[in-house]
A = this chain, B = another copy of it.
Amino acid sequence: MKERDSESFESLSQVLPNTSNPAHMIQMAMANSGSSAAAPPRQDQHDRSKWLLDCPEPPSPWHELKIQVKESFLTKAKRFKSLQKQPLPKRILSILQAVFPIFGWCRNYKLTMFKNDLMAGLTLASLCIPQSIGYATLAKLDPQYGLYSSVGPPLIYALMGTSREIAIGPVAVVSLLLSSMLQELIDPETDPLGYKKLVLTTTFFAGIFQASFGIFRLGFLVDFLSHAAIVGFMGGAAIVIGLQQLKGLLGITNFTTNTDIVSVLRAVWRSCHQQWSPHTFILGCSFLSFILIARFIGKRNKKLFWLPAIAPLISVVVSTLMVFLTKADEHGVKTVRHIRGGLNPISINDLEFNTPHLGHIAKIGLIVAVVALTEAIAVGRSFAGIKGYRLDGNKEMVAIGVMNVLGSFTSCYAATGSFSRTAVNFAAGCETAMSNIVMAVTVFIALECLTRLLYYTPIAILASIILSALPGLIDINEAIHIWKIDKLDFLALIGAFFGVLFGSVEIGLLVAVVISFAKIILISIRPGIETLGRIPGTDIFADTDQYPMSVKTPGVLICRVKSALLCFANASSIEERIMRWINEEEEDENTKSNDERKILFVVLDMSNLMNVDTSGITALVELHNNLIQNGIELVIVNPKWHVFHKLNQAKFVSKIGGRVYLTIGEALDACFGLKV
């Protein structure tokens, strides 16, 4: 390498006296034009142009796909190969550790860590029990299903998951998704058993989808919901969930099954004139205020983090006692009543694959899978980032998928990582996934012993607990941030928000995805062209708008396509724009009556272009023909690998006489070296 360095050093100093900066020479040559003493093109520059012309053939699409797939599985295969050299027991342990990360961290697990995890787990459980019951009602299931879902899934996640902070269990948005989409297939009021089967089957499908995303490294599918869309969707969903809670908070009996704001408000309005329970409302509101005040105190004083966490449980206990003592349930305050206690019953036989709804169930399972994964991975990543370790997205998906599949066998409905409870878990100082185990055991004990005590718990309290968790889902600051940075992103946000609010959960998701992809198309095909000028003192050519100090080269139109694709949708516009510019420039220059300044070359910088299609090539050929008729030559600069290959195959490169260069400087050098 040293040899080459010194070589080029020499060649540089040799050519310095006359061509140190060829572009300057051109400018000078142009300035005192007429004198044709332009610099001869350098030898090494010809070589470089040849490098470009002779570059190897790019890999075909199939080959690229193969490489990509191979790369995805390479790390796994590599690890497996290195394993084969090790002795059997170590090999088994390694595989076990890969599948169940718990075997990795539990060997270094210490008692001090368990103390922290115990505290965190108990705090988590105190928040989880009332929330789970509330979310189960939101999913239109019996309350115990929420508790079931807080026993099985967290245990399995603790074995297989890689996040240390995530708190697993039922969450608000997924519960809403399930109830809003499944009640169109079977009405939970008239056929609760059939509805339950539907929910479990959907959970099974969601788990299968999630696990296969992880196994087949399809994690990128989860990315298809853009950040902005998620913010908007979550905000809209939070409001919809809040509106649903009005039923419990007001003690309304006849409610609508629609989730959009118009239907719900109409139903509330109708009910307010007929039957609602002021007792319930006062009870709910007072405890809602209590929980919110507790949260406010907890935020102010970080040491009191446990106060907002156990406030819901306190509310449940106090309100249950109040109802029991005052016999308010006989005066119109609705209570939870019977919760079936005991461990999760086996529900494999409840999974139904012979229903006419199977296609719908699979579709809903897919939506639930994606939304659940989005929430879990977003929350997992952000806390992993705080603690400074990396989350393995694919492993997470497998863990969440397996936990939902096994969950569907044991009467659990779709669980995932919860925003609010993960924050509590983190604040409570959890160290490992052990806190999930502690929580699951606590919930299990509650299921065994305490369900009878919940008989008098008023439903309004559950509603107020859910309501109190919603502000965490509405992220106004982030929305403002997105508005400031990217207006089109904000459009996706607003689309998702209003889609959920005025349409349905599905419509909101659809709007978000459509806007996000429409944005990609819009940006990719926008027919932009920018003129380039030389940045003084360099050989760099840059956008004259971005760098106002850049200097245009007379006699040449240097332009760059501003989009990544020269394709059917923008090629002819781009061609037309270049021709219009040339006409305008020539008109301008005609008025100046300075014939010497006529445009002789169009240098088209292709460095932005990732790809070109047959329409794009046709447009280039047309452009070339039009330019030739005006006595102008077309020069191509820095086409990317695939672009160059296609241009070459379409014989466009030979059509323009092989005038393809690596840099604009070299192109100008060659142009004026040949012509002036």
Question: Which listed residue, B2, B226, B525, touches A615 by the CB 8 Å rule?
Answer: B226
Question: Which listed residue, B5, B229, B576, B579, touches A24 by the CB 8 Å rule?
Answer: B5
Given contacts A5-B27, A8-B537, A662-B540, A225 and B486 within 8 Å (CB-CB): no
Question: Which listed residue, B225, B390, B485, touches A650 by the CB 8 Å rule?
Answer: B485
Q: Taking the complex as formed, is A105 at the interface, i.e. its CB lies under 8 A from any CB of chain B?
A: no
Q: Which residue among A228, A484, A567 has the maximum number of chain B CB atoms within 10 Å of its CB?
A: A567
Per-residue CB proximity of A354-390 to B under 8 Å, as 1/0?
Answer: 0000000000000000000000000001000100101
The answer on a CB contact under 8 Å between B24 and A9 is yes
The answer on a CB contact under 8 Å between B485 and A61 is no
| Chain B residues whose C-beta falls within 8 Å of the C-beta of A44 in the assembled complex | 537
Residue of chain B at shortest CB distance from A384: B622
| Chain B residues whose C-beta falls within 8 Å of the C-beta of A109 in the assembled complex | none
Tell me the A604-650 residues at the B interface (CB within 8 Å): 607-608, 610-611, 613-615, 617-618, 622, 625-626, 629, 640-641, 644, 646, 649-650
Residue of chain B at shortest CB distance from A23: B5
Q: How far is the CB of A33 from chain B (nearest CB, A)?
A: 13
Q: How many identical subunits does the complex contain?
A: 2
Interface of A: prevailing SS: helix
- The interface on chain A, measured as residues whose beta carbon lies within 8 A of the other chain's beta carbons, has a size of 106
The answer on a CB contact under 8 Å between B546 and A613 is no
Q: Taking the complex as formed, is A267 at the interface, i.e. its CB lies under 8 A from any CB of chain B?
A: no
Question: Which listed residue, B227, B516, B540, B573, touches A223 by the CB 8 Å rule?
Answer: B573
The answer on a CB contact under 8 Å between B486 and A4 is no
The answer on a CB contact under 8 Å between A487 and B60 is yes
The answer on a CB contact under 8 Å between B641 and A579 is no
Q: Taking the complex as formed, is A94 at the interface, i.e. its CB lies under 8 A from any CB of chain B?
A: no
Segment touching B, from A290-298, A450-458, A557-565: A557-565
The answer on a CB contact under 8 Å between B523 and A614 is no
Tell me the A1-38 residues at the B interface (CB within 8 Å): 1-2, 4-5, 7-9, 11-13, 16, 20-21, 24, 27-28, 31
Residue of chain B at shortest CB distance from A607: B607
The answer on a CB contact under 8 Å between B564 and A614 is no
Q: Taking the complex as formed, is A542 at the interface, i.e. its CB lies under 8 A from any CB of chain B?
A: yes
The answer on a CB contact under 8 Å between A28 and B5 is yes
| Chain B residues whose C-beta falls within 8 Å of the C-beta of A576 in the assembled complex | 393
Question: Which listed residue, B524, B527, B573, B629, touches A520 by the CB 8 Å rule?
Answer: B524
Question: Which listed residue, B56, B58, B227, B649, touches A614 by the CB 8 Å rule?
Answer: B227
| Chain B residues whose C-beta falls within 8 Å of the C-beta of A625 in the assembled complex | 385, 388
**Cα–Cα, bound, A261→B58 (Å):** 39
Question: Which listed residue, B516, B629, B662, touches A388 by the CB 8 Å rule?
Answer: B629
| Chain B residues whose C-beta falls within 8 Å of the C-beta of A485 in the assembled complex | 614, 617, 646, 649-650
The answer on a CB contact under 8 Å between B21 and A488 is no
Residue of chain B at shortest CB distance from A564: B564
Question: Which listed residue, B229, B539, B546, B549, touches A641 by the CB 8 Å rule?
Answer: B546
Q: Taking the complex as formed, is A252 at the interface, i.e. its CB lies under 8 A from any CB of chain B?
A: no
Q: Taking the complex as formed, is A159 at the interface, i.e. its CB lies under 8 A from any CB of chain B?
A: no
Given contacts A520-B524, A521-B521, A546 and B640 within 8 Å (CB-CB): yes
The answer on a CB contact under 8 Å between A569 and B224 is yes
Residue of chain B at shortest CB distance from A576: B393
**Cα–Cα, bound, A573→B381 (Å):** 14
Q: Taking the complex as formed, is A663 at the interface, i.e. its CB lies under 8 A from any CB of chain B?
A: yes
Q: How far is the CB of A446 from chain B (nearest CB, A)?
A: 38
Q: Taking the complex as formed, is A55 at the interface, i.e. its CB lies under 8 A from any CB of chain B?
A: yes
Per-residue CB proximity of A55-93 to B under 8 Å, as 1/0?
Answer: 110101100000000000001000000000000000000
| Chain B residues whose C-beta falls within 8 Å of the C-beta of A60 in the assembled complex | 487
Tell me the A197-252 residues at the B interface (CB within 8 Å): 220, 223-229
The answer on a CB contact under 8 Å between A611 and B21 is no
**Cα–Cα, bound, A132→B61 (Å):** 45
The answer on a CB contact under 8 Å between B31 and A2 is yes
Q: How far is the CB of A174 from chain B (nearest CB, A)?
A: 21
Question: Which listed residue, B223, B488, B579, touches A572 by the CB 8 Å rule?
Answer: B223
**Cα–Cα, bound, A615→B484 (Å):** 14
The answer on a CB contact under 8 Å between A547 and B51 is yes
Q: Taking the complex as formed, is A535 at the interface, i.e. its CB lies under 8 A from any CB of chain B?
A: yes
What are 7 A-B pairs at a CB distance below 8 A? A55-B546, A61-B488, A223-B615, A481-B614, A516-B569, A520-B565, A524-B565
Taking Cβ atoms with an 8 Å cutoff, the residues of A that contact B are: 1-2, 4-5, 7-9, 11-13, 16, 20-21, 24, 27-28, 31, 44, 48, 51-52, 55-56, 58, 60-61, 75, 220, 223-229, 381, 385, 388, 390, 393, 481-482, 484-489, 516-517, 519-521, 523-525, 527, 535-540, 542-543, 545-549, 551, 562-565, 567-573, 576, 579-580, 607-608, 610-611, 613-615, 617-618, 622, 625-626, 629, 640-641, 644, 646, 649-650, 662-663
